[in-house]
Amino acid sequence: MNAMISMRHAALVLIAGTVLSTTPADAETRRFRLVWANDPTATATVGWEQVSGGPAVVHYDRVDHGTEVSAYAHRREVDREERFRGMHNCFARLTGLEPDTAYYFVVVDDDGPSRRFYFRTAPAVAKPFAFVAGGDSRNYRKPRRKANRLVRKLRPLFVAFTGDMINKDENGEWWQWFDDWQQTIADDGRMFPVLPHRGNHESGGNEVIDRLFDTTPGNYYALDFGGDLMRFYVLNSEIPAGGKQGAWLEGDLTEHASRIRHLCVGYHKPMRPVVLAKAEGADEYDQWAEVFHRHGVDLVFESDSHSVKRTKPLVPSTGPGSVEGFTAAYGDPNATVYVGEGCWGAPLRAADDAKPWMLASGSFNSFELVHVYEDRMEVRTVRVDSEAGVGGNAEGDDLGLPAGLAVWEPASGAVLTVEGDGGRSVEVATLEEGAPQPDLSGAAGRELLFRLRVPAGASDLEFRLSGGEGNADLFVNARTLPEVDDHQFGSSQPGNDERIAIGSPEEGAYLVMVRGTTAFSGVTLEADCTAPVVPPARVVIAFPRGSEWSYHDAGTAPDPKWKQPGALGWPKGRGQLGYGDGDEETTLQGKHLAYYFRRSVTLRDIDEISNVEFDLLYDDGAILHLNGVQAYRTASMPSGPVDARTPADTRVGENTRLVFSVDPALLVEGENVIAVQVHNQSTSSSDISFDLAMRVTRSGGAGVAGYLRFVAEHRSAAGETAPEQDHNGNGIPNFAEYAFGLDPFDPVTELSHLPRLVDGEGPAIEFVRRPDPGIRWVHQVSADRTDWRPGVEGEDFRMEVREAGDLERVRLIPLDETRKTFFRVEPVER
Amino acid sequence: MPGDSTKDGRGVPGWVRLTVFLTLFCRGWLYLRWDSPLRGIFWSEDWMTWPVDFFLHLDWDAYASTSDAYLTFLFRAIGILLMVAGVGAFFVRRGRTRGSDLLMVALCFSVLHAFAAWFEKDWQIGMLLELALQAWCPLLLWIGIRRGFGAPAFLRTARLLAALTFVGHGLYAIGHHPVPGSFVTMSIRVLGMSEDAAKLFLQVAGWLDSAVAILILTPWRRAILGAGIYMVAWGFVTALARVVSHYDPAVRFHGVDPWLFETLVRTAHWAIPLVVVILVFKPSTRSVAS
C-alpha cells in the first residue's frame, strides 16, 4: 500500500514537473512563427498564438536586452488578428529594419514577456548566404521534428516551405505542426523566417496560409535577397497556374529577371513527378515551364510526391529527343534545374518514374540546403534521419556544413551546382533554323536576343541579318550571351546586311544579339545550318549471357565490400553458374541458401544511356546491386534486410528468366560493378541457377555522326550498319574499322592500319586513325595483360602523330624501355 | 448495352449496365495504374499508428518508410477486382447470386472509395455528395435487377443519387467549399475565359446545379424532365472537360491516361440522369414518377 502511495506521488511530481516545464513565462503566447512576405531586408512579420488575454505587443531592438522589456527601443502592436484553426493568431509587422542586421525581440502581454528571440534581416547587397527548401511534413512527425531541429543547427537565412505542412487541414494537426515548428528555434533564440507555400493538403483554400502566416490572399509573391543576387518566387499550384497568377508572374519576371543573378521558384505540385502513380502537372507545365525558360529561372523546388529528385538543366521542348516535354541543355544559360519532391516528414513513396534527364532520384526523409554565391548556387540534399549526430553551425557561419551532417551522395555527386548567368537573365526569344524572324525594330542601342539550338553534328551554321532601314549589327556567342565588346562572332557592316558563318558549330545553344547602332526597322534575322545525320537510338550489349563472373559459393556472408570495386580473390567462372540442373557452365557448391556473384563493366558517356536492361536467369530469388545500390529485387525475395541465411520466399520454375530495367542514374562513368545475390528457397533445394546479360540503350552521341555520314556516302543499302555490328564479318565492329581509317563494308582489311609493333629508334605501337572529333581514343597499358589501367601520355608513353592523307598515323612510344609494356588502343564514341 | 434490354424496351438496363461497367472498370484502372484515396487513410498517423502496432508489430517509423510498396500492391489488387466486377455488370442477372455477390463487393469498395475521398478532402461534405452516383450506381443496377428498371424504387434512388451528386458539385462551384483550382483551370482552358469570368461562370453553374438537384426531387414531371436534361448535358460536359483540359502532347499518351478514365468514371453523372429522363418521359406501367 505504501508502495502504491509513493508511486502515485511520484506520478504527481512527474506530471507537475511536466506542466511547469511547458509553462514558462510565455504562458499566454505560444506557437511563434516568423514570416517573410515583404522586403526581407527591411521587414519581418512576427506571429504567435495568443492563448488568453488581449493581444501582446512586440518589443524589438538591434541590441539584445534579454527580457528587460523597457530597454527595447521599438514596439509594434498587433497588425492583424485571426481566430482560425482553433488559435487566436496575432501578427505584428515589423518595418523599417536595417538590412543584414540581428533584431532581438520579446512578445509581451499582461503576464510579462516571452523568452527573448532574435532573427537576421536579409542582406541588401550581394553576399553569400544559405537557405533551406522542402515540403510535405504531414503524417510522419519524427522526421519532421528532426528536419526542424536541423534547421536550427544549419542556421539558414530562411526556410522555403513548399506546402503540405499538415495532412488534414484541421485544428489538431495545425497545433501539432506549430508545436513542432518551435523546434526550429535555436537555443540562443534565433528564429528563421519561413516562406510558406500552399499545398493540396491545405484544403481549406488560400486563406489557410494567409490567415496562419499573414502572407498574401493568393499565396503567391516574390522577394529579393542580397540585392540583385537572388529573387525567390513563392507560387501557388493549387490555383490556376495561368490566370491572374500567370499574368503576375510574367509581369514580375519581365520587370526583374534581367537584373537578378539567380532566379528561384518554389511551388507544391511537380510538373513531372518522379512517382509513377502521380499524374503529370499539365497546368504548371503549360503555364510556367516556357516562362521559366524564357526568363532564365535557374532553380525550382517542387514537392508533393514524398520522394527525391534532381534534374539536369532543362528546357521545355516537345521536339526529337525530348521526354515528357523536356530536354537537357547544359549549354543553355536559361535552362532550369528542378529539385524536390517533398520529404520533410511524410510517408515515403518509391521514386519509380525517373526520366532520362534526371540526374538522380531516391526516397528518404530530406530537405534541400542551398548555398548561394555570386557565381553559383550549390544544392545539397540533407538526410534528416541522422539529425541527432549533427553538430551545429556557429552564428555567422551559415555556409558551413556541421560535423555529422548526412548529405545525399548520388552517383552524379553530392553537390548540385547551378551556375549563375552573369546577371543577364534577359528575355531571349527562340530562333528556329530556317524560320526567319521578320520586322525586327528598335531604337539606337536596343538589344534583341535570340537563342538557336544547334544539334550535335550540324555544320555550316550561318546567321544573316537583312532588309529594312537603319543600321543594326549582329553578335553571336556559343552558350553565353554576347556583348558588343565581348563576343565570339560579330558583324558590324553599315546598314543591315550582316552575315556570320560558322563552319563547325558546337552542339548546344547559340545566343544571338541584334543591336541597333542607329534606329532600325523592318529587319529580318535568319539562321541556317546543315542538319546532322541523327544517330538512332540503339541497344548495345554491355555483356552477354555466358560472361565471366567472380562468385562466392561458401554459404557464408561475403566480404562486406563485395558490392564495391576492387578485387576480392573470388574464383571465376562463366555463366550459367549453379548446380543441380546439368546445364551449368560453372558448377557451384550445393545446398546453401545464398550465392554471390560480381563482375564489372566499363561504360563511357553514360549521359547518352537512356535505359539499362538486365536479362536475368535465376532460381529461386535474386537481388541485383548496381554500384552498391540495390537496383532490383525479384518478387520471390522477402522485403527488408537479407543475409546469407535468408531464404527466398517462394520457389520459382527452373531457369526462370526475367528481363527488367533499372534506373540509368545508378550508372557511373567508367567501371560499374554489378553484384547479384541469388537465394534458394531452402537448403534442400535441388538446384540453383544464375546467369545475366546487360544491355544499354544509347541515344547515340555526336561520336557516331561522322560514322553515319560515312555510311550514307559509302553504303546506301540497308544492312548491318549499326556501329557495334560487324558488316564484313572480319571480327572488327563497324565503328572501330571506321575509326582506324578502314572501310567496314570492304571485306579486305588493311592490317597495317591496326595497332602493331614497329621498331624504329626503339619499340613502338603504330596505328592509323581517322581525325574525327566524334572519336575519343583510349590508351591503356598493362605489365601483364591482366590488369589494365589508363595510360598517361608523358608518363607511360609519348605520342607522335603524322598526317597520312585524310588520316593520321600515330605512334605510341613507351618511355620506360627497361620493362615490358603492353598497349591497348580503343576508339570510343564521344 | 444501350437498347439491348428485352424486358424494358427503352434501353434503361443497357444504360445502367454500361454506366456501372465504365464506373467500376475505370475506377479499377485508376487504382491499378495510378493511386487511391485509401492511401490517405492508410497514411493517417492518427488513425493507423495503433492498428499498425497491434496487427503488424511495426512502429510508425518503419511503417511510414516501407508501406508504399504494399499499399500499391493492395490498390492494384482492388483495381483488378473492380475491373472484373465492372465487366461482370453486363452479366449480372436475377437469380445469379455469384454475379450479385461480385456486384455487392464492388459496391462496398465504391462506397469505401467515396469515404476515403471524403476523408482526404477533410470531411468536406460536398466531396461525399458528389461521389454519390459513382459510389452507389452498382446498387442502382442491383435494384433494377431485383425490382425492375421501371420500378418506383429504382427511379426514386436514381433521382436521389443524381440530386446528391449535383448538390455536391454545386457546393464546390459556388464556393461553399474552397473552389478547386482544377475547376477554374478547366474552365479557363476549355472555354478560354479569364480567371474572374471562370469563377463567375462556376458560381452560376453551381447555383444551377443546386436548383436542378431540388427540381429532380419534386413530384412534377416537367420539372424532373427539365432538371434531368440539364444534368445530362452538364454532367457530360464536366466529365468531358477532364480529358479535354488535360490534353498534353508532351506527356505519355497525350494525357489520355489517366484523364480519359477520369472522364469515363464520371459516366454516371450524365447517364443516370439520362435514365431518369427516359423513364419519366416514357413511363412504363410500373413506373411512378410523381
ipTM: 0.88
| Partners of residue A349 in chain B, C-beta under 8 Å | 68
pLDDT for A7 equals 33
pLDDT for A2 equals 38
> In a mutagenesis test of the B interface, which of A139, A326, A341, A364 is the best target, namely the one with the most B β-carbons within 10 Å?
A139
A108 neighbors A69 (Cβ within 8 angstroms): yes
CATH of A429-530, one of 3.90.650.10, 2.60.120.380, 2.40.30.170, 3.40.50.880: 2.60.120.380
CA distance B123 to chain A (A): 9
A280 to chain B: closest CA residue:
B251
CATH of A129-164+195-417, one of 3.90.1150.10, 3.10.129.10, 2.60.40.650, 3.60.21.10: 3.60.21.10
A131 neighbors A155 (Cβ within 8 angstroms): no
Mean pLDDT for chain A overall = 86
* Structure confidence by residue, pLDDT tens digits, A270-325: 999 999 999 999 899 999 999 999 999 999 999 999 999 999 999 998 887 789 99
| Partners of residue A346 in chain B, C-beta under 8 Å | 43, 64
pLDDT for A139 equals 83
B194 to chain A: closest CA residue:
A243
> Which one of A156-170, A373-387, B56-70 scores highest in mean pLDDT?
A156-170
A242–chain B Cβ distance below 8 A for any pair: yes
Q: Does residue A369 sit in helix, strand or coil?
A: strand
pLDDT for A787 equals 81
The Cα–Cα gap between A566 and A550 comes to 12
A141–chain B Cβ distance below 8 A for any pair: yes
A640 to chain B: closest CA residue:
B66
- Does the structure show a pLDDT above 60 at B146? yes
Cell numbers that stand for A287 in this block: 503555364
pLDDT for A17 equals 32
The Cα–Cα gap between A285 and A322 comes to 14
Closest Cα partner for B24 from B284, B267, B279?
A: B267
* Structure confidence by residue, pLDDT tens digits, A582-621: 888 899 988 889 999 999 888 877 887 888 889 898 888 8
The answer to whether the A538-698 and A716-829 domains have the same CATH topology is no
| Partners of residue B250 in chain A, C-beta under 8 Å | 285, 316, 318, 322, 324-325
Instruction: Compare B269 and A254 and report the one with higher pLDDT.
Output: B269
Domain spans of chain B, in order of start: 12-281
Instruction: Compare B237 and A447 and report the one with higher pLDDT.
Output: B237
Which class would CATH give A716-829? mainly beta
pLDDT for B77 equals 97
CA distance B118 to chain A (A): 11
pLDDT for B1 equals 43
- Does the structure show a pLDDT above 70 at A539? no
Instruction: Compare A507 and A571 and report the one with higher pLDDT.
Output: A571
* Structure confidence by residue, pLDDT tens digits, B181-194: 989 998 988 888 99
B110 neighbors B135 (Cβ within 8 angstroms): yes
The Cα–Cα gap between A161 and A167 comes to 15
Domain spans of chain A, in order of start: 129-164+195-417, 429-530, 538-698, 716-829
pLDDT for A725 equals 75
Give the lowest-confidence range in A94-98, A727-731, B57-61. A727-731
pLDDT for A826 equals 87
Q: List, in order, residues 6 or more apart from A538 with CB less than 8 Å away.
A: A697, A698, A700, A722, A723, A724
CA distance B266 to chain A (A): 18
- Does the structure show a pLDDT above 60 at A5? no
pLDDT for A382 equals 96
From the list B33, B181, B252, the residue facing A240 with the nearest CB is: B181
Instruction: Compare A500 and A666 and report the one with higher pLDDT.
Output: A500
| pLDDT band of A648, cuts 50, 70, 90 | confident
- Cα–chain-centroid distance for residue A778? 29
Q: List, in order, residues 6 or more apart from A535 with CB less than 8 Å away.
A: A457, A699, A700, A701, A704, A705, A708
- Per DSSP, chain A holds a count of helices (H) and strands (E) of 9, 51
* Structure confidence by residue, pLDDT tens digits, A703-759: 677 787 777 677 544 456 777 777 777 888 888 888 999 888 887 777 788 888 887
pLDDT for B2 equals 44
> In a mutagenesis test of the B interface, which of A85, A208, A278, A283 is the best target, namely the one with the most B β-carbons within 10 Å?
A283
The Cα–Cα gap between A161 and A342 comes to 9
CATH of A538-698, one of 2.60.120.260, 3.40.50.300, 1.20.1440.60, 3.40.50.10320: 2.60.120.260
Tell me which residues of chain A, numbers 599 to 618, contact chain B at a CB-CB cutoff of 8 Å: none
pLDDT for B15 equals 94
Interchain CB distance below 8 Å, A280 and B184: no
* CA dihedral (A712, A715, A720, A726) positive or negative: negative
Interchain CB distance below 8 Å, A141 and B124: no
pLDDT for A6 equals 34
From the list B188, B198, B251, the residue facing A325 with the nearest CB is: B251
From the list A244, A318, A348, the residue facing B250 with the nearest CB is: A318
Interchain CB distance below 8 Å, A318 and B185: no
Size of interface A-B (CB pairs under 8 A): 103
Q: What mean pLDDT do residues B232-244 have?
A: 94
CA distance B218 to chain A (A): 33
From the list A167, A203, A283, the residue facing B44 with the nearest CB is: A167
> Which one of A549-558, A740-749, B75-84 scores highest in mean pLDDT?
B75-84
- Cα–chain-centroid distance for residue A376? 15
From the list A170, A348, A640, the residue facing B68 with the nearest CB is: A348
> In a mutagenesis test of the B interface, which of A198, A239, A357 is the best target, namely the one with the most B β-carbons within 10 Å?
A239
Residue B46 sits at the vertex; the CA angle it makes with B42 and B50, to the nearest 5 degrees, is 80
A217–chain B Cβ distance below 8 A for any pair: no
Cell numbers that stand for A227 in this block: 540585392
| pLDDT band of A180, cuts 50, 70, 90 | very high
* Structure confidence by residue, pLDDT tens digits, A221-262: 999 999 989 999 999 999 999 999 999 999 999 888 888 889
